[in-house]
Amino acid sequence: MSDSLLEVRGLSKSFPGVRALQGVDFTVRRGEIHALMGENGAGKSTLIKVMTGVYERDAGTTRLDAKEIFPRSPREAEACGISTVYQEVNLIPHLSVAENICLGRQPTAFGKIRWGAIMQRATQALARLDLDIDPSRQLSACSIAIQQMVALARAMDVSAKLLILDEPTSSLDERECEELFKVIRKLRDEGMGIVFVTHFMDQVYAVTNRITVLRNGQLVGEYLTSELPRLELVARMIGKDAKEVAAMESQQPGMRSVRDEKPFLEVRNFGRKGSIAPLDLSIRPGEVVGLAGLLGSGRTETARIIFGVDKPDCGEMFLDGERVSISSPRAAIRRRIAFTAEDRKIDGIIPNLSIRENIVLALQASRGTWSKLSRAKQDELADKFIKALRIKTPGPEQLIKNLSGGNQQKVLLGRWLATEPRLIILDEPTRGIDVGAKAEIEKLITDLRRDGLAILFISSELEEVVRTSQRVVILRDRKKVGELAGDAISEHAIMNQIAAPTAESKAVVDV
């Protein structure tokens, strides 16, 4: 069975100032799981939204079962046989599972909803996916994973021919993902065409048959999953050749050395009850210190007491050898320390302001209301950081909400860099952004280090920490359990210390 189910030809879509899709072709066959890959901003979401009728296309054709379709709303797309499950569960929390499955197409008799039939239909839909869920339960009382399954059951309840899964696994754990994969494999075997979008490479290779790669709104190519090695896939996505990617992934020697300078920041016996046990830590100019540990091991807490968000209750802090006490983030900023917090949506971006305005924000704030940055100066700063950080945008006046996650992260970084900090604390700067953007952020960190910045780098991804850091401090259970430096840094060594409860004595390795 390899006849095509969905044929998208020459699809284009523009938004004010952005060409999101340019002449993209995309084909899904019956009985296959087809991965749609690309960096953030490559056009995946736009393509999906055009297929599901959320956006109207500017040019191109879409054929489903050799019949041209032109859905203008999710409802029309559904009527054609295209169902979608989104990254965030898009269901109605206050209604029952059964009603969520049938909403908008409830069986009626003379306009009266037949509740019995709804229950029956929902039970069948759940049974078809081998799901054991009580259909009368209120949706909000179910776990996210169950809600995701309900969304899938809903998508299947219409006689769908094509199922689009837009990052359905981002909030599921491993076992829940496996459940989901079982279900979608079953649907594939029933002859359905499935489009699968994800950031997780492992999942792509675990379930998909074919891969289509987009970059900058254009089609890069369509490949059989079995014939496209991972490295090649990443290379296609970010538009480099595979050798470069390989080099990037294993760039190690030479970058470990640090000019022997006095530390910019040094803390001794620094801690706070209930959040982090007293620890010593120093960061030199031109050095990246990685903070590794499991979630909840005290990484963010350490950053918070250094930045003055929380007050330490013991220990001392030195900046350039001078003893200081930092009592608030304002004080930290005055001492040229910057901090990008874990959740960029909360701390970070102001969606309705332009890139320029977002970049100058922190600098303007530190100057106070009365000494306004001139427009010329603002433009200069914005241009400088757009160029330096390679922010993908048509111009500095673009609203930041129109950028992809990775590019938003870069704007945030630009905002802090504009204040010319000497120490920057990066808390999970690569979370939720795709491979290409991650690689770029990593490269930026390395560049900044070369410019003499001191950097405290927090990340859950050990490879990242290993690749970028000159020294790694390891935390476990809100305590510093070890420190690695130079060539001693490896994923294996870090894992050992995170895991081994008695490794402390051997932990400190001299530079």
Partner 1 sequence: MNRINPKYIPLAATALVMIALYVLGCVLYPNFTSPRVIVNLFGDNAFLGIAAVGATFVILSGGIDLSVGAVIAFIGIFIASMIASGMQPLVAIVLALVVGTVFGAVQGSLIRVFDLPPFLVTLGGMFFMRGMAFVVRQESLAIKHSFYQQTIRQLVIPLAPRVNIPFTAMCLIAVVVVATYVCVYTRFGRNVYAIGSSENSALLMGVPVGGTKIGIYALAGFFSALAGCVSTFYMQSGNPASFVGLELDAIAAVVVGGTLLTGGVGFVPGTLMGVLILGLIQTLITFQGNLNTWWTRIAIGVLLLLFIVLQKAIAGRGRA
| Contacting residues toward partner 1, per CB under 8 A | 54, 73-75, 78, 84, 86, 89-95, 99, 103-106, 108, 111-113, 134, 137-138, 140-141, 154
Q: Considering beta carbons, is residue 54 or 388 the nearer one to partner 1?
A: 54
Q: Write down the least CB distance from residue 297 to partner 1, Å.
A: 25
CB of 99 to partner 1, least distance (A): 7
Nearer to partner 1, 98 or 418 (CB): 98
- Cα 303 versus chain centre, distance: 21
- The CA dihedral of 155, 156, 162, 168, to the nearest 10 degrees, is 50
Of residues 134 and 241, the one with the C-beta less far from partner 1: 134
Cα separation of the two ends of the chain? 61
Which positions ≥6 away from 362 have C-beta within 8 Å?
Answer: 333, 338, 415, 416, 418, 419
Is the distance from CB of 286 to CB of 454 less than 8 angstroms?
A: yes
User: Smallest distance from the beta carbon of 121 to partner 1, in angstroms?
Assistant: 14
Cα dist from 182 to 148, 188, 206, 431, whole Å: 14, 10, 11, 27
Query: At 215, which helix (H) or strand (E)?
Result: strand 210-215
DSSP structure string for 155-200: HHHS--SEEEEESTTTT--HHHHHHHHHHHHHHHHTT-EEEEE-S-
β-sheet with 18-29: strand ranges across: 18-29, 4-15, 59-64, 67-69
SS3 18: strand
- Stated as kind and residue range, the H or E segment containing 59 is strand 59-64
Burial of 9 (0-12, 13-18, 19+ CB in 10 A): middle
For residue 295, the minimal CB distance to partner 1 (Å) is: 20
CB of 212 to partner 1, least distance (A): 23
Q: Is the dihedral of CA 232, 234, 238, 244 positive or negative?
A: negative
In 10 A of CB 377, how many CB atoms? 12
- Name the residue nearer to partner 1 (CB basis): 154 or 467: 154
**Whose Cβ is closer to partner 1: residue 12's or residue 106's?**
106
- ∠ Cα 255 431 173 (to 5°): 120
Q: Using CB atoms within 10 A of its CB, is residue 175 exposed (0-12), middle (13-18) or buried (19+)?
A: exposed
| 30 close to 3: Cβ distance less than 8 angstroms | yes
Amino acid at 169: T
Q: In whole angstroms, how close is the CB of 104 to partner 1 at the nearest point?
A: 5
Q: How far is the CB of 161 from partner 1 (least distance, A)?
A: 16
- Taking the complex as a whole, the smallest distance from the CB of residue 126 to partner 1 amounts, in Å, to 16
Q: Which is nearer to partner 1, 103 or 247 (CB)?
A: 103
> What's the closest the beta carbon of residue 172 comes to partner 1, in angstroms?
19
* Cα–Cα distance, 181 to 504 (Å, whole number): 41
**Residue placing its CB nearer to partner 1 in the complex, 113 or 247:** 113
Cα-trace Rg, the chain: 26
Give min distance, CB of 109 to partner 1, in A. Answer: 10
Q: Which is nearer to partner 1, 120 or 138 (CB)?
A: 138
CB of 134 to partner 1, least distance (A): 7
Nearer to partner 1, 75 or 372 (CB): 75
- Selection from 374, 400, 376, 373 nearest residue 386 by Cα: 400
Nearer to partner 1, 9 or 137 (CB): 137
**Closer CB to partner 1, 142 or 338, in the complex:** 142
Min separation Cβ 473 and partner 1, Å: 34
**Hunting for tokens 């480099």 — which residue is that?**
240
Nearer to partner 1, 31 or 74 (CB): 74
